[in-house]
Homo-oligomer: A and B are copies of this chain.
Amino acid sequence: MQLDSFFPYRLAVASEAFSRKLTEVYQREFGLSREEWRLLFLLANAKCLTSLELTQRTTLDKVQVSRAAQKLDDKGLITRAISEEDRRIRVYHCTPEGHRQFETLLPQVEARAQGMLNSMSAEDRAALDRGVTALLKAATET
Protein backbone atom coordinates (compact mmCIF):
# COMPACT_ATOMS: atom_id res chain seq x y z
CA MET A 1 0.00 0.00 0.00
CA GLN A 2 1.44 3.33 -1.08
CA LEU A 3 0.20 6.68 0.20
CA ASP A 4 -0.58 8.03 -3.26
CA SER A 5 -2.80 5.06 -4.02
CA PHE A 6 -4.62 5.34 -0.68
CA PHE A 7 -8.06 6.67 -1.52
CA PRO A 8 -8.55 8.95 1.50
CA TYR A 9 -5.24 10.64 0.76
CA ARG A 10 -6.04 11.20 -2.91
CA LEU A 11 -9.46 12.58 -2.03
CA ALA A 12 -8.00 15.03 0.48
CA VAL A 13 -5.27 16.24 -1.86
CA ALA A 14 -7.61 16.61 -4.82
CA SER A 15 -10.25 18.42 -2.81
CA GLU A 16 -7.78 20.77 -1.16
CA ALA A 17 -6.07 21.64 -4.43
CA PHE A 18 -9.44 22.35 -6.04
CA SER A 19 -10.68 24.41 -3.11
CA ARG A 20 -7.44 26.36 -2.91
CA LYS A 21 -7.75 27.58 -6.48
CA LEU A 22 -11.26 28.90 -5.81
CA THR A 23 -10.33 30.48 -2.49
CA GLU A 24 -7.66 32.48 -4.30
CA VAL A 25 -10.38 34.13 -6.39
CA TYR A 26 -12.62 35.48 -3.64
CA GLN A 27 -9.76 36.23 -1.29
CA ARG A 28 -7.70 38.09 -3.86
CA GLU A 29 -10.66 39.91 -5.37
CA PHE A 30 -12.58 40.98 -2.28
CA GLY A 31 -10.66 39.73 0.74
CA LEU A 32 -13.40 37.31 1.74
CA SER A 33 -12.70 34.25 3.86
CA ARG A 34 -14.40 31.00 2.91
CA GLU A 35 -16.88 31.45 5.75
CA GLU A 36 -17.76 34.97 4.58
CA TRP A 37 -18.08 33.75 0.99
CA ARG A 38 -20.49 31.01 2.06
CA LEU A 39 -22.69 33.35 4.09
CA LEU A 40 -22.72 35.91 1.28
CA PHE A 41 -23.66 33.10 -1.12
CA LEU A 42 -26.62 32.10 1.02
CA LEU A 43 -27.79 35.65 1.72
CA ALA A 44 -27.46 36.79 -1.89
CA ASN A 45 -29.84 33.99 -2.82
CA ALA A 46 -32.42 34.46 -0.08
CA LYS A 47 -34.60 37.38 0.98
CA CYS A 48 -33.45 37.12 4.57
CA LEU A 49 -32.06 34.47 6.89
CA THR A 50 -31.60 34.17 10.64
CA SER A 51 -28.42 33.01 12.37
CA LEU A 52 -30.15 29.75 13.13
CA GLU A 53 -30.94 29.18 9.47
CA LEU A 54 -27.36 30.03 8.48
CA THR A 55 -25.93 27.45 10.88
CA GLN A 56 -28.37 24.85 9.57
CA ARG A 57 -27.50 25.50 5.95
CA THR A 58 -23.74 25.49 6.39
CA THR A 59 -21.16 23.54 8.37
CA LEU A 60 -20.59 26.65 10.52
CA ASP A 61 -21.56 26.85 14.19
CA LYS A 62 -23.08 29.92 15.83
CA VAL A 63 -19.69 31.38 16.75
CA GLN A 64 -18.40 31.15 13.21
CA VAL A 65 -21.62 32.63 11.83
CA SER A 66 -21.48 35.48 14.32
CA ARG A 67 -17.90 36.38 13.45
CA ALA A 68 -18.19 36.01 9.68
CA ALA A 69 -21.44 38.03 9.72
CA GLN A 70 -19.75 40.80 11.69
CA LYS A 71 -17.04 41.06 9.09
CA LEU A 72 -19.53 41.08 6.22
CA ASP A 73 -21.43 43.82 8.06
CA ASP A 74 -18.22 45.83 8.52
CA LYS A 75 -17.66 45.56 4.77
CA GLY A 76 -21.20 46.74 4.08
CA LEU A 77 -22.20 43.55 2.31
CA ILE A 78 -24.98 42.48 4.69
CA THR A 79 -27.09 44.00 7.46
CA ARG A 80 -27.82 42.43 10.85
CA ALA A 81 -31.20 43.39 12.26
CA ILE A 82 -32.73 42.26 15.52
CA SER A 83 -35.83 40.13 15.04
CA GLU A 84 -39.09 41.72 16.13
CA GLU A 85 -40.62 38.40 17.16
CA ASP A 86 -37.66 37.32 19.32
CA ARG A 87 -35.16 39.97 20.26
CA ARG A 88 -32.42 37.36 20.80
CA ILE A 89 -32.43 36.50 17.13
CA ARG A 90 -30.62 38.29 14.31
CA VAL A 91 -32.09 38.61 10.84
CA TYR A 92 -29.57 39.03 8.06
CA HIS A 93 -30.10 40.71 4.71
CA CYS A 94 -27.79 41.14 1.77
CA THR A 95 -27.20 44.80 0.87
CA PRO A 96 -27.25 46.05 -2.74
CA GLU A 97 -23.45 46.27 -2.51
CA GLY A 98 -23.38 42.67 -1.27
CA HIS A 99 -25.48 41.58 -4.22
CA ARG A 100 -23.23 43.49 -6.56
CA GLN A 101 -20.07 41.89 -5.22
CA PHE A 102 -21.65 38.45 -5.28
CA GLU A 103 -22.79 38.88 -8.87
CA THR A 104 -19.28 39.93 -9.84
CA LEU A 105 -17.60 37.19 -7.90
CA LEU A 106 -19.74 34.14 -8.64
CA PRO A 107 -18.99 34.06 -12.39
CA GLN A 108 -15.27 34.34 -11.62
CA VAL A 109 -15.39 31.49 -9.12
CA GLU A 110 -17.46 29.40 -11.51
CA ALA A 111 -15.08 30.13 -14.36
CA ARG A 112 -12.14 29.01 -12.23
CA ALA A 113 -13.97 25.83 -11.25
CA GLN A 114 -15.04 25.13 -14.83
CA GLY A 115 -11.51 25.74 -16.02
CA MET A 116 -10.42 22.77 -13.96
CA LEU A 117 -13.49 20.63 -14.59
CA ASN A 118 -13.39 21.23 -18.33
CA SER A 119 -9.91 19.78 -18.50
CA MET A 120 -11.58 16.49 -17.51
CA SER A 121 -13.57 14.31 -19.91
CA ALA A 122 -17.36 14.55 -19.77
CA GLU A 123 -17.47 11.00 -18.41
CA ASP A 124 -15.01 11.85 -15.64
CA ARG A 125 -17.01 14.96 -14.72
CA ALA A 126 -20.22 12.93 -14.55
CA ALA A 127 -18.49 10.29 -12.43
CA LEU A 128 -17.13 12.96 -10.08
CA ASP A 129 -20.51 14.58 -9.62
CA ARG A 130 -22.21 11.27 -8.97
CA GLY A 131 -19.46 10.09 -6.63
CA VAL A 132 -19.39 13.29 -4.61
CA THR A 133 -23.15 13.27 -4.18
CA ALA A 134 -22.99 9.72 -2.85
CA LEU A 135 -19.99 10.48 -0.65
CA LEU A 136 -21.67 13.53 0.83
CA LYS A 137 -24.54 11.35 1.91
CA ALA A 138 -22.30 8.56 3.17
CA ALA A 139 -19.90 10.79 5.11
CA THR A 140 -22.52 12.95 6.77
CA GLU A 141 -24.97 10.18 7.62
CA THR A 142 -22.70 7.26 8.52
- Give chain A's interface residues, CB within 8 Å of chain B: 1-4, 6-19, 21-22, 38, 41-42, 45, 57-59, 106, 109, 113, 115-117, 119-121, 124-142
Contacts and interface: CB of A to CB of B under 8 A. Distances in A.
Contacts of A136: 10, 13-14, 17
Number of copies: 2
A9 B10 CA distance: 18
B129 A132 contact: no
A130 B129 contact: no
Contacts of A21: 139, 142
Most B CB contacts (10 A, CB to CB) among A21, A41, A130, A135 go to A135
Most B CB contacts (10 A, CB to CB) among A2, A119, A128, A131 go to A131
A59 B122 CA distance: 28
Contacts of A8: 18-19, 22, 109, 113
Given A4-B57, A142-B119, A19 B12 contact: yes
